[in-house]
């Protein structure tokens, strides 16, 4: 195990959760659909909790949560760019278009976030002793919520696009209705959308 890279993963994961809160705050401002707004509000609260969990894990791993790395700076920049994109859409486009931009920005942010947690889980499986236990405890608290954040928002983005194209959309999306938390579940939910129209 390359400890320096494990540390880098943790710094990037923390920065992703910090920036994710700003992404959700901007996305909520863009949301037109009340159910989507409520969903993102829940995810914002969970993202705040994920930051807390990571900070506790940092203490167990003797990592300084304030350490900056080049990779962490890139994650910070990308999060800021997503927020800026949503602000641009709010200022320059129709509310429905800004909502669509927000859904896409959340999908981008949650793709990175989801990957971080998958890698934290894999790292926990390979490590030994107290570090392994600390990572696995964090992973088990967060992983299912991260699955929901990604797969449900991907469904919202798809259905909002379909609606914007003038076709019948399933809102809330099938992923939401079926409460999916796996890639297989998300694929099955998407396949079932025609029956839900």
Tell me the pLDDT tens digit for each residue of 104-136. 999 999 999 999 999 999 999 999 999 999 999
Q: What is the maximum alpha-carbon separation in the chain?
A: 55
CATH number of the domain where residue 111 is located = 1.20.1260.10
Residue 69 belongs to a domain: yes
Q: Tell me how long the chain is.
A: 197
Closest CA relative to residue 76, chosen from 24, 35, 22, 33: 22
Summarised one tens digit per residue, pLDDT across range 67-96 is 999 999 999 999 999 999 999 999 998 999
Closest CA relative to residue 13, chosen from 71, 95, 70, 61: 71
Residue 157 belongs to a domain: no
Residue numbers of the domain that contains 142: 3-146
């Amino acid at each position: 195990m390359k400890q320096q890279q494990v540390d880098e993963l943790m710094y990037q994961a923390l920065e992703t959760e910090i920036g994710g809160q700003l992404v959700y705050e901007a996305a909520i401002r863009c949301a037109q659909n009340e159910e989507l707004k409520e969903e993102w509000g829940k995810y914002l609260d969970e993202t705040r909790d994920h930051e807390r969990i990571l900070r506790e894990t940092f203490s167990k791993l003797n990592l300084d949560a304030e350490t900056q790395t080049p990779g962490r700076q890139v994650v910070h920049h990308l999060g800021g760019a997503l927020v800026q994109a949503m602000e641009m859409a709010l200022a320059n486009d129709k509310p429905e278009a800004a909502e669509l931009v927000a859904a896409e920005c959340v999908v981008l942010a949650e793709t990175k976030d989801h990957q971080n947690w998958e890698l934290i889980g894999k790292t926990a499986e390979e490590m030994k002793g107290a570090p392994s236990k600390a990572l696995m405890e964090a992973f088990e608290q967060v992983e299912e919520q991260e699955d929901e954040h990604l797969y449900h928002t991907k469904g919202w983005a798809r259905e909002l696009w379909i609606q914007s194209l003038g076709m019948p959309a399933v809102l809330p999306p099938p992923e939401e209705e079926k409460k999916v938390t796996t890639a297989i579940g998300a694929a099955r939910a998407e396949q079932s959308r025609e029956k839900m129209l």
